[in-house]
Structure 1
Amino acid sequence: MGNYDEDTAFLGQKGPFFVILFFLLNAIYISTGFHGLYIVFVGASPSHHCRVADGNLTEEWMKASIPNETLGGKLQPSQCWRYSLQTLRNLSALGYSPLDVNLTDVTLEKCVDGWSYSTQIYHSTIVSEWDLVCDSEWRVPFATSTLYMGYLLGSLVSGQLSDRFGRKKVLFASLAAEALVILAQSFSDSWLLFCVLYFFVGTFQISLYITAFVLGSEVLSKSLRVLFTTLGAFLHYCIGYMVLPWIAFAVRDWRTLLRVLSGLTVVYIPLWWLIPESPRWLLSQGRVLESEAIVREAAKKNKVIAPAVIFSESEVKEAASQKSKYSALDVLRTSDIRKTTFLCLLLWMAINIGYFGLSLNTTNLSGDPFLNCFLSAVTEVPAYIVSTFLLKSCPRRPVLSAFLVIGGGFLLLVQLIPESLHTLALALEMAGKFGFTMSFTVVYIYTAELYPTVLRNLGIGMCSSAARIGSITAPYIIFLGTFNKYLPYILMGSLTIASSITNMFLPETFEKVLPETLEQMQKCKSFIRRDKHTLEEGKGTVIMKEGNCDTLQKIHE
């Protein structure tokens, strides 16, 4: 198996087999859209105040028992304090009315009898069911973080599992396990159990995402592979993201919402018989006949004739026996790669903090929370399209820095908007989300181009782990908004602007042929530049600059 793409070139690029498989794999990403952010509604905090259930108080005194406080620039009933009921009873027994008393002199007490929650928007959430407010308010961002902790574990183990058991088995096992855990989560009788199950939701969800990504990259033709790994997966994720608020709008009870989202997974059952195993993975396991059977089936659907022998078994055994000699330590071996890795880790953390922070913050914005979530999802569609087209013709470094400045700059402007202009504030936040989404797209491609081929998977894996740390942090940054509504915007905006400056210290990769090995990168302190003036049809001349790399090397495009 010298080259899989060359061996299967007879299949063509856009036959029925590839087109159908392209849409089937993309359909799986719809589920990741509405499973990934349901905490926005499940963990929403309805309006609430201390419960006052005292038969010895008149209606007038009960209404006056909750003090007013300024929250987010607005005067509203206190959510965590009430006037001492014993004091109010004594005043009422003496014949006083609330108008006769200076209530600010009355002692305050906590909500010892629990809380009363508004059901105007949500009939039930984990906040209203388990009283995750006031002193327990920290439990909501912690619950959200457990999903991203699961992401961290899943991103570490999913690759090993799919390498051992196969892409298809791990893909559908992750899909089924995620649905079952979400269903079990809907029966949680405590906040702690909810968090434990949410951790496994994250583990299986990221495993599903990564495995589908790998399967598509290995099975699809070259042209559709590029479309799948850029626009395809991202846009179908957006479809699920856009569907989520409409389901939540129709189902206002958190337990029912989770059961509906879990139940929707049954539509994917037929895909088991429609999506094949990766022929590349089968070849790596020495299962040549099974791999050829899938390729021949693809040839039949594409109406082309397959050769008598597609893969040479001796070549397969040789390829399967090769083991990588590189480890995570090699990503830190030289000063150049250490610098690249360190800067990439910072970029991935900053982008994920901003992206997930804004995604989780939609229910805290003024206006309808369902519409805000929908608009946040819609904003991503043009962002993915624009960034994908810009990547084809623009340098990576200035484009990424520009997107980061857009994302962070608009967030810093939010604090300058008067409270009355909440529509403008919403528009600025959506513009910030637009910048973060474009940055998200670019940083994936840019990072892959920064590392030599032999370290690419290791480098992206480390950056993905850093991204998980950023997403774990995001709920707590949003939680700071309970103390000052502008604090999350200031932190996310400042961090993003700083990362845009950091990004300028990375090398440019646009229209440059990248080193294949670590040794090449050690010899050449700068990337290999493609000389446009000597490009011929199908071939180009590469000028290796700096150090001892001043020789010409022919490459195939």
Structure 2
Amino acid sequence: MEDYDEGIAFLGNWGRFQQTAFFLLCATAMPNGFNSLSIVFLGDSPAHHCLIPEGLNITEEWRKASIPTQEVNGETEYSRCRRYRLDLISNFSALGLSPSKDVNLSQVPLEGCSDGWTYSKEIYQSTIVTEFDLVCDNEWKQPFTTSVYFFGVLSGSFFSGQLSDRFGRKPILFVTMAIQTVFTFVQAFSPSWEVFSVLFFLVGLGQISNYVAAFVMGSEILTGTPRFIYGSLGICGSFALGYMMLPLFAYFCRDWRTLLVAMSVPSILYIPFWWFIQESPRWLLSQGRVEEAEAILRGAAKKNRVTAPEVIFPQTEGEQKQCKKEEFHGFLELLKTSNIRHITLILCLVWLTLNIGYFGLSLNTAKLHGNPYLNCFISACTEIPAYTATWLSLQYLPRRPCATISMLLGGGLLFFILLVPPGLTPLAISMEMIGKFFMASATSLVYSYTGELYPTGIRNTAVGICSMASRLASSIAPYFIHLGSYNKNLPYIVMGSLTIISGISALFLPESFGFPLPETMDQMPRIKRIKWQCLSSEQKNQEKKGRTHSGKTLVETWM
């Protein structure tokens, strides 16, 4: 709303009112950081094997030999889901036979872990995997638990915008913060995996709704440069800071129930924020509540020590705005023409791929070699420079090459990880973190890039559709990581391939840097295509730089 920005110009861009809104709203995003990826520690699967009952009368030698060994990714380890038949082991022990000399164990039948499992406590005291035995036949529940959370995020992204538009930014912000906090706390008392999953869905629903409400609220309250910094670095950086706190909480709280309590209790500190964060005056004006909007702005003028005009928003302007109706564009407009349809499909692929890579690499930190807490902290630290790089590139560099190069480098590094020798684990981890840097940077960049390509009437709908694709990606990302249980290289091959394909497809998107935002469908930039043109012999001689093949030259043209 250009008139709104002009109407509140007397406040300035960076007074005490704007500073309070900026830092408090950024602070509300920090719990999202350590909630969104808490499953990395809550649902990690420690080393385990079948339980051998203590009451079983066998020698210590036979007790150690009762679990078969197997080779996994080049390493020998105990079988996680099978053991030798204990009745036969008991008989061999009673007869005084030796497992290394007298019995060929390869001929002994195997059985399942009917007595449960023994879990390593070297790293964790307990996780939901050890608590509810989410292994072997129930191993599918591990990635599904993460998907349930992201299905909640998907649902929240669908409803939060509508609720915020109807009831206001401030109430939805605090209600969803309360939902996230309360259900995170209640999760600590889950008696079963089913109850935990239902509560996890509700936590995801509140998590994204809180983040979106804070993002929109800050974008509406702030103006000028602070608004740009808030949307590109402020709230994203606060999310990253919260993410960096997650391994710190998890390091000191090795039990999953204690970790949930520790994550939820600090949110009580946000209760006083209700009296310091004001409702969005822009939203109040859109609802015709002019007096309330002016009251907030007059209070802001006092905080900024400036004088407000007698009438901030003349009634005639309000009446004109109420009478003026915006042109409505539905979802089908994204499929109406070939140009907009191709742009939408490419962007959905880019959003989908980037979020698979981002969440896939984030969720994989606990499975890397070395200390999982340190790996997670390093993974979180890569996001701060990534968002800083995005902020700088949005100011000075074209969008298309930045997005393409980031995706190609991110995907390429995932392939190079496969070439690292087994003994150079630190190098492999470093390459994965650098790959995540490019993924996070491209993810942040493509959000602004998408909004710049679409006209005003359909911009929110287009960004919403792309956002839905990203939420779908986060829901299936756990299964990409689960591929590592079959072959440790599969997740990198699949995610790297998808990212490189998306990076190449982004080359066909139109450029938006330096161009004004389109206001109508006619002003929307045209997608860049490649077509074949038949050229004469003279034209072919003149086209020295073209690549010829069967009398045709490949030429890039704007369509």
Task: Output the aligned Cα RMSD.
Answer: 1.6
Post-superposition CA distance 1:135-168 (Å, at most 9, x none): 1111010000111111111111111101111000
1:282 Cα deviation from its structure 2 partner: 0.7
Choose which of 444, 454, 458 in structure 2 pairs with 1:455: 458
Instruction: Please name the residue that 2:276 is paired with.
Output: 274
Post-superposition CA distance 1:374-398 (Å, at most 9, x none): 0000011111111221222211111
Choose which of 142, 145, 152 in structure 2 pairs with 1:150: 152
* Cα distance, 1:65–1:452 mapped onto 2, change above 3 Å: same
Three-state SS of the structure 2 residue aligned to 1:116 is: strand
Matches for 1:476-495 after TM superposition, within 5 Å:
476-495=479-498
1:546 Cα deviation from its structure 2 partner: 8.9
Choose which of 358, 376, 380 in structure 2 pairs with 1:377: 380
> What amino acid is aligned across from residue 89 of structure 1 in structure 2?
S
Establish whether residue 52 from structure 1 lines up as the match of residue 66 from structure 2: no
Matches for 1:362-401 after TM superposition, within 5 Å:
362-401=365-404
Would you say the 8 A contact 1:2–1:315 is kept in 2? no
Three-state SS of the structure 2 residue aligned to 1:75 is: strand
Would you say the 8 A contact 1:404–1:497 is kept in 2? yes
Establish whether residue 216 from structure 1 lines up as the match of residue 240 from structure 2: no
Choose which of 275, 293, 296 in structure 1 pairs with 2:295: 293
Matches for 1:30-69 after TM superposition, within 5 Å:
30-53=30-53, 54-69=55-70
Would you say the 8 A contact 1:481–1:487 is kept in 2? yes
Instruction: Please name the residue that 1:517 is paired with.
Output: 520
Three-state SS of the structure 2 residue aligned to 1:512 is: coil
Stretches of structure 1 that go unaligned for 5 or more consecutive residues are 528-544, 548-557
Three-state SS of the structure 2 residue aligned to 1:98 is: coil
1:46 Cα deviation from its structure 2 partner: 1.0
Matches for 1:298-313 after TM superposition, within 5 Å:
298-313=300-315
Three-state SS of the structure 1 residue aligned to 2:403 is: helix
Matches for 1:256-267 after TM superposition, within 5 Å:
256-267=258-269
Post-superposition CA distance 1:264-315 (Å, at most 9, x none): 1101011000000000111111111110000001111111100000012332
Aligned partners of 1:525, 1:378: CA distance in 2, in Å? Answer: 38
1:444 Cα deviation from its structure 2 partner: 0.7
- Number of equivalences: 528
1:211 Cα deviation from its structure 2 partner: 0.5
Establish whether residue 496 from structure 1 lines up as the match of residue 499 from structure 2: yes
Establish whether residue 234 from structure 1 lines up as the match of residue 199 from structure 2: no
1:481 Cα deviation from its structure 2 partner: 0.4
Establish whether residue 469 from structure 1 lines up as the match of residue 472 from structure 2: yes
1:525 Cα deviation from its structure 2 partner: 4.0
Aligned partners of 2:495, 2:75: CA distance in 1, in Å? Answer: 24
Would you say the 8 A contact 2:232–2:390 is kept in 1? no
Stretch deviating more after TM superposition (45-54 or 369-378)? 45-54
Post-superposition CA distance 1:313-350 (Å, at most 9, x none): 33224424535421111122111111111110000000
1:129 Cα deviation from its structure 2 partner: 0.5
Output the TM-score relative to the length of structure 2: 0.92
Instruction: Please name the residue that 1:28 is paired with.
Output: 28
Stretch deviating more after TM superposition (321-330 or 124-133)? 321-330
Stretches of structure 2 that go unaligned for 5 or more consecutive residues are 529-556
Instruction: Please name the residue that 1:554 is paired with.
Output: none
> What amino acid is aligned across from residue 301 of structure 2 in structure 1?
A
Output the TM-score relative to the length of structure 1: 0.93
Three-state SS of the structure 1 residue aligned to 2:508 is: coil
Identity %, equivalent residues:
52
> What amino acid is aligned across from residue 87 of structure 1 in structure 2?
L
Matches for 1:194-205 after TM superposition, within 5 Å:
194-205=196-207
Aligned partners of 2:189, 2:322: CA distance in 1, in Å? Answer: 46
Three-state SS of the structure 1 residue aligned to 2:70 is: strand
Instruction: Please name the residue that 1:532 is paired with.
Output: none
Instruction: Please name the residue that 2:91 is paired with.
Output: 90
Matches for 1:108-127 after TM superposition, within 5 Å:
108-127=110-129
Stretch deviating more after TM superposition (276-285 or 512-521)? 512-521
Instruction: Please name the residue that 2:12 is paired with.
Output: 12
1:39 Cα deviation from its structure 2 partner: 0.5
Would you say the 8 A contact 2:326–2:457 is kept in 1? no
Would you say the 8 A contact 1:284–1:316 is kept in 2? no
Would you say the 8 A contact 1:279–1:291 is kept in 2? yes
Instruction: Please name the residue that 1:553 is paired with.
Output: none
